[in-house]
Amino acid sequence: MYITKRKQGHVLYGNHAGHAKEVNRLMKKKVVGGILTAMMITGMFAGCGNNESQSGDGTNTGSGDQVVVDIFQNKNEINDALQAAIEQYESENPGVTIHLETVGGSDYASSLKAKMLGNDPVEIFTLGGPDDIASYKEYLEPLTGEEWISHVTAGGCDNVTVDGQVYGMPIAVEGYGLIYNKKIFEAAGIDASTLTSYDAMDKAFADLQSQIDAGTLADQFPVLEAVEEYAAKESWIVGLHTNNVALSQEFGSAAKAFESQTVNYTYGDALKDLIDLETKYTSSSDNLSLLNSVDYATQVGGGLAIERVAVIRQGNWISPEISNVSEELLQDLGILPIPLKGVVEDSIAVGVSNYWCVNSKSSEAEKTAAKAFLNWLYQSDEGKNIVINELSLIPAFDNYDGIEISDPLSAEVMRYMNAGKTIPWVFSGQPSGWDSNVAANVQAYLAGGMTWEQVIAQNKSDWEAMRQQ
């Protein structure tokens, strides 16, 4: 774990509890004004309310006094670009100061709770979906009258709408699958376009691993050691994204998952097959317990980005990190489907990642400034370009005509969307904290401490118990 300090933006990676006092000292109330990310996919998500605008176009809406607003968010990959956007907004709105803090991974949830219940509340923060909305309802400012509402694509606000009121702005549409290095596959003589089923993918991965082991690709890719890397240490990878592939077929939507008192694991056997596929072609195949120490940074920056592995299961959000290492490599990446054997084999998971929320307990001036910034970022011409070209996000709005998506992984996500080959994100409807339990159980399975049957039984029991709380 380490902390990186920037001019006004802070990024905390990993467990940051020991630095809480220092962070609080450094991050006391600053001014915020603005608006965030937008989306451009027509027809994926529905409108969310009426068209009345409360905050206008992003101009300084304060009373003449300096307004101080904090932004607290969980996407490490957009921190730098978002900080640059904040500085641009501040230069155009001198009455507003914006302070950005980023805590990535599984630490975000506990950090947000500590802030909101403690003495360091924030004006803008991110939440996931129905369970988060229910948990933070008393801190949520209705956004139903904001100008961006009429442009949200179909269903984009469903997870954050309660009794007709919208409580979150979609940050982006994201998609995840098996991201692969096209050059490695081409060098191995593997036609990625044919990998549209579990069996085809399994066979191709076995072939690629045998070539790696034989050293036939070593001249071109000297550090390549395995087909895949699986970051089992990350609960959000194991307990949210991997688990979602099966639960998406059981529930169909986050709302239905949220309403359910039980989980049946109808496709539990296929989920086991998927986990086995993602782990048996790693360099830890002879000792899967080693995967429990593999984190996001090892998988992405220390794996795919340096061509140590050819495939990882991640989403288009990794583009900024890959680009920082090699823009050329980013252009050579594609996305293979996530095969749920015998169920759905030629699709990727697509959904709204998270939502921007405004703290209802902030002052009126702070809330107005926060809403104005969000409107600027997602609806102004300069903000839209930032969302697409700097934040590398797929906007969840229908008024981004004429702005081309340059990020190749985002383009891949849109390719699957246009082909109708997607499965939904339902994990935001899971019981809060259940993902950590699921991850721990899968980690025990990889370490040989639990059978798969025990994993499924424990996951079911934990879900039911948490629903009773």
| pLDDT score recorded for residue 320 | 86
The string of DSSP codes covering 223-250 is: T--EEEE--TT-HIIIIIIIHHHHHHHH
Q: Is it true that 2-172+354-399 and 175-350+425-467 share their CATH fold?
A: yes
At 47-73, the pLDDT tens digits run: 344 433 333 344 444 445 899 999 999
Provide the strand spans (E) within 133-221: 161-162, 165-166, 169-170, 173-181
Identity of the amino acid at 246: A
CA distance 450 to 458: 10
At 174-223, the pLDDT tens digits run: 999 999 999 999 999 999 999 999 999 999 999 999 999 999 999 999 99
Residues 71, 371: contact at Cβ < 8 Å?
Answer: no
| pLDDT score recorded for residue 22 | 33
Say yes or no to pLDDT of 44 above 60.
no
Residue 413: both structure tokens together? 């996500």
This prediction has a pTM of: 0.79
Domain 2-172+354-399 has CATH 3.40.190.10: yes
| pLDDT score recorded for residue 77 | 87
Residues in the chain: 469
**Which positions ≥6 away from 359 have C-beta within 8 Å?**
116, 121, 122, 123, 124, 125, 139, 140, 141, 366, 367, 370
Identity of the amino acid at 102: T
CATH number of 175-350+425-467: 3.40.190.10
Domain ranges of the chain: 2-172+354-399, 175-350+425-467
Token look-up 């830890």 returns: 284
